[in-house]
């Protein structure tokens, strides 16, 4: 490609709407352009990167016997009615009617579509297992797109779906996908990517992992032991906190005028928050169930854990009216004497196993001292609902947990029979009996992966793309193209390298050197060749890597062979 005709202006100034590195460089380098919030056009540079990422994904999916298909973006809503997700998924699912008034959706994921396919194409256990995947547009009407390509409304995703005769086979295949994903993310050049335990969310199912590219701008919080043996999303992370068990002292009601918050009460009574119990009230969305969550005063409730335990899809903080109706006093709420008929009580071990806590007395301006769970209330649901904090002890190694941010570039789920049962996707086993297939699903966000690589591979001047996905492998600059021999030499190298299959971007514009070098930095090709009258006089061509300041001078006769080899060597680093 000749740069004089490459579409996508580079800019010197940082666009005001961009905050994180990947967003800034994708705009400044002319890779993407916004069309609406969270909706982007990919320009040639980005499209080339994305294509290479997709190729790597396809190779790895094919290696684990995946079969590529292509399902539509527009689906009839009735499929989503069958699975039940018409009800459970909210406004992220874009719904509309076609000209005949038929309810349609823009697919945000394809479980329904692929199950619809599987149940008609597959009838026998002899056809199992199999995996289908496609690389296709997803639309999710996100409430708040952000961060350039990190969170968008329309995007390209590779999603794969496997079908099995039993859960054991699903588990084995899941592990193969896990390995394939590790290869994909290594090959696309992520330098720091981990798979972690995750919440299954609206997908359902039992087991799932997320692949997280570690980056400060990531939206997810990850807790990890220093040796990486334990890695989990904040939503499901646990810690091995220990609790002080002392001989119980007598329960005692004390006056705490106008002290409502944990800090106020602890300060007033001269103790630290660890010696208090915190009451947090939630309710379901239509206020039919009141939930009393109790936890040690210095900890916070992890609502995801609480929701999952209660099997209530959505919860909110309860209103004071609802709390009072159940006989509790907001700000002074107590587990002591609460009517279990009216309140669902969930106690974190941190509160259940600590001794002599200060808790509310269900009476304005009063608290109890020396609350002890086993003695002072009926035994109830003691469940881990605590939010982990950085530095808390790891549940596996006991070491302090690191807290990191991550971009979710991929995820894998063992769905089991969640969709195949609801949508009646069965096969006949060896005994002629119809049974639901076991299913797994596996996603990779392609554009987000590109952004994540950029977050991990850049310097102060722009992206430093790995050879495996770089939009161009070699950036060829002709300095002073009007001077004797420069253009001829550059054209010859351009033609020779291109003929050997090397992706070359040829800067033929004849701009000032600094101008061209800055553009080259923003394009981030791993290798750079500079043709100038200065070096040409000695029959030399300058050769520089994007990730180094060192310069070499190659004999012009050897350039093609040397560079072709260098590209091959570099590519070899990203094969598995």
Q: Which spans of this chain sit near RNA (rule: CB under 7 A)? A: 9-17, 19-20, 23, 28, 34, 36-38, 89-90, 92, 108-109, 138, 140, 142-148, 151, 157, 159, 201-203, 219, 303, 314, 411, 413, 441, 443, 445, 461, 479-480, 482, 510-515, 517-522, 530, 532, 534-535, 542, 544, 551
Closest to RNA by CB, 88 vs 272, is: 88
Closest to RNA by CB, 192 vs 487, is: 487
Closest to RNA by CB, 259 vs 457, is: 457
List the structure tokens of 326: 């159940």
CB-CB contact of 39 with 152 (8 Å): yes
Minimal distance, residue 98 CB to RNA, in Å: 23
Closest to RNA by CB, 422 vs 518, is: 518
- Using only the alpha carbons of the chain, give its radius of gyration: 30
CB-CB contact of 300 with 384 (8 Å): no
Interaxial angle between packed helices 446-456 and 21-28, expressed in degrees from 0 to 180 and rounded to the nearest 10: 100
Closest to RNA by CB, 281 vs 371, is: 281
Closest to RNA by CB, 486 vs 567, is: 486
Minimal distance, residue 46 CB to RNA, in Å: 16
Q: CA 389 to CA 519: how far, in whole Å?
A: 43
Minimal distance, residue 359 CB to RNA, in Å: 26
* DSSP SS3 for 538: coil
Minimal distance, residue 65 CB to RNA, in Å: 21
Minimal distance, residue 10 CB to RNA, in Å: 5
CB-CB contact of 412 with 209 (8 Å): yes
Q: What is the 3-state secondary structure (H, E, C) of 48-64?
A: HHHHHHHHHHHHHHHHC
Q: CA 287 to CA 312: how far, in whole Å?
A: 12
Closest to RNA by CB, 64 vs 446, is: 446
Minimal distance, residue 16 CB to RNA, in Å: 3
What are the C-alpha distances in Å from 505 to residues 2, 4, 55, 114? 6, 10, 21, 40
Minimal distance, residue 516 CB to RNA, in Å: 7
- How far from chain centre, in Å, is Cα 497? 38
Q: CA 133 to CA 113: how far, in whole Å?
A: 12
Closest to RNA by CB, 160 vs 335, is: 160
Minimal distance, residue 357 CB to RNA, in Å: 26
Q: Read out DSSP for 37-96?
A: TTEEEE-HHHHHHHHHHHHHHHHHHHHTTEEE----SEEEHHHHHHHTHHHHS-TTS-EE
CB-CB contact of 4 with 509 (8 Å): yes
The three-point CA angle 541-543-549 to 5° equals 140
554: β partners: 541
CB-CB contact of 122 with 163 (8 Å): yes
* DSSP SS3 for 222: strand
Helix (H) or strand (E) holding 410: strand 402-416
Minimal distance, residue 253 CB to RNA, in Å: 35
Minimal distance, residue 322 CB to RNA, in Å: 18
Minimal distance, residue 312 CB to RNA, in Å: 11
Main-chain dihedrals φ then ψ at residue 512, nearest 5 degrees: -60, 150
Q: How many residues does the chain have?
A: 576
CB-CB contact of 457 with 189 (8 Å): yes
The pairing of beta strand 231-233 with beta strand 154-164: unpaired
Closest to RNA by CB, 70 vs 143, is: 143
Minimal distance, residue 244 CB to RNA, in Å: 30
Closest to RNA by CB, 208 vs 362, is: 208
Minimal distance, residue 136 CB to RNA, in Å: 12
Closest to RNA by CB, 141 vs 363, is: 141
56-95 b/e (C-beta count within 10 Å ≥ 16 → b) = bbbebbeebebeeeebebebbbebbebbebbeebeeebee
252: β partners: 369
* DSSP SS3 for 2: strand
Q: CA 500 to CA 564: how far, in whole Å?
A: 7
Minimal distance, residue 133 CB to RNA, in Å: 12
Closest to RNA by CB, 182 vs 274, is: 182
Closest to RNA by CB, 332 vs 442, is: 442
Q: CA 552 to CA 575: how far, in whole Å?
A: 27
What are the C-alpha distances in Å from 533 to residues 213, 341, 485, 507, 514? 44, 89, 8, 16, 16
Closest to RNA by CB, 313 vs 398, is: 313
* DSSP SS3 for 387: coil
Minimal distance, residue 29 CB to RNA, in Å: 8
Closest to RNA by CB, 23 vs 134, is: 23
């Amino acid at each position: 490609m000749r740069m004089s005709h490459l579409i996508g202006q580079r800019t010197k100034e940082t666009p005001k709407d961009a905050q994180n590195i990947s967003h800034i460089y994708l705009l400044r380098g002319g890779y993407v352009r916004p069309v609406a919030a969270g909706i982007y056009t990919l320009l040639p540079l980005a499209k080339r990167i994305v294509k290479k990422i997709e190729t790597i994904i396809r190779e790895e999916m094919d290696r684990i016997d995946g079969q590529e298909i292509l399902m539509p973006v527009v689906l009839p809503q009735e499929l989503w009615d069958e699975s039940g997700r018409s009800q459970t998924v909210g406004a992220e699912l874009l719904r509309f009617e076609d000209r005949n008034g038929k309810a349609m959706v823009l697919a945000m994921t394809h479980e329904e579509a692929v199950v619809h396919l599987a149940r008609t194409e597959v009838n026998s256990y002899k056809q199992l297992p199999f995996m289908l995947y496609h690389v296709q547009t997803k639309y999710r009407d996100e409430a708040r797109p952000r961060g350039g390509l990190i969170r968008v409304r329309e995007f390209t995703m590779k999603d794969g779906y496997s079908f099995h005769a039993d859960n054991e086979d699903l588990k084995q295949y899941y592990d193969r996908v896990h390995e394939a994903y590790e290869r994909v993310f290594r090959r696309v050049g992520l330098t720091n990517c981990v798979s972690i335990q995750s919440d299954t969310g609206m997908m359902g199912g039992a087991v799932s992992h997320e692949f997280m590219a570690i980056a400060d701008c990531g939206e997810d919080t990850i807790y990890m032991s220093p040796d990486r043996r334990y890695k989990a999303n904040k939503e499901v992370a646990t810690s091995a906190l220990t609790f002080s068990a002392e001989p119980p002292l007598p329960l005692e009601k004390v006056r705490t005028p106008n002290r409502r918050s944990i800090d106020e009460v602890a300060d007033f009574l001269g103790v630290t928050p660890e010696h208090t119990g915190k009451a947090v009230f939630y309710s379901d969305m239509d206020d039919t169930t009141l939930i009393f969550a109790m936890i040690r005063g210095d900890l916070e409730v992890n609502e995801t854990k609480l929701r999952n335990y209660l099997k209530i899809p959505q919860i909110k903080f309860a209103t004071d009216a609802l709390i009072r109706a159940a006989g509790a006093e907001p700000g002074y709420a107590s587990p002591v004497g609460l009517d279990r008929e009216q309140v669902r009580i969930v106690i974190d071990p941190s509160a259940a196993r600590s001794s002599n806590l200060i808790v509310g007395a269900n009476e304005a301006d009063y608290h109890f001292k020396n609350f002890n769970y086993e003695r002072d209330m009926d035994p109830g649901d003691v469940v881990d609902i605590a939010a982990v904090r950085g530095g808390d002890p790891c549940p596996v190694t006991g070491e302090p947990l690191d807290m990191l941010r991550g971009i979710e570039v991929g995820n894998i789920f063992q769905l089991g029979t969640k969709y195949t049962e609801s949508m009646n996707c069965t096969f006949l086993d060896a005994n002629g009996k119809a049974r639901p297939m076991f299913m797994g699903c596996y996603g990779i966000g392609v554009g987000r992966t590109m952004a994540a690589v950029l977050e991990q591979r850049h310097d102060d001047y722009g992206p430093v793309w790995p050879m495996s996905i770089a939009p161009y492998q070699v950036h060829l600059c002709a300095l002073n193209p009007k001077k004797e021999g420069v253009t001829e030499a550059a054209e010859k190298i351009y033609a020779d390298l291109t003929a050997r299959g090397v992706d070359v971007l040829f800067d033929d514009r004849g701009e000032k050197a600094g101008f061209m070098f800055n553009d080259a930095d923003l394009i981030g090709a791993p290798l750079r060749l500079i043709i100038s009258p200065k070096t040409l006089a000695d029959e030399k061509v300058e050769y520089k890597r994007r990730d180094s300041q060192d310069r070499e001078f190659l004999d012009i006769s050897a350039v093609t062979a040397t560079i072709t080899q260098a590209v091959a060597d570099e590519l070899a680093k990203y094969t598995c």
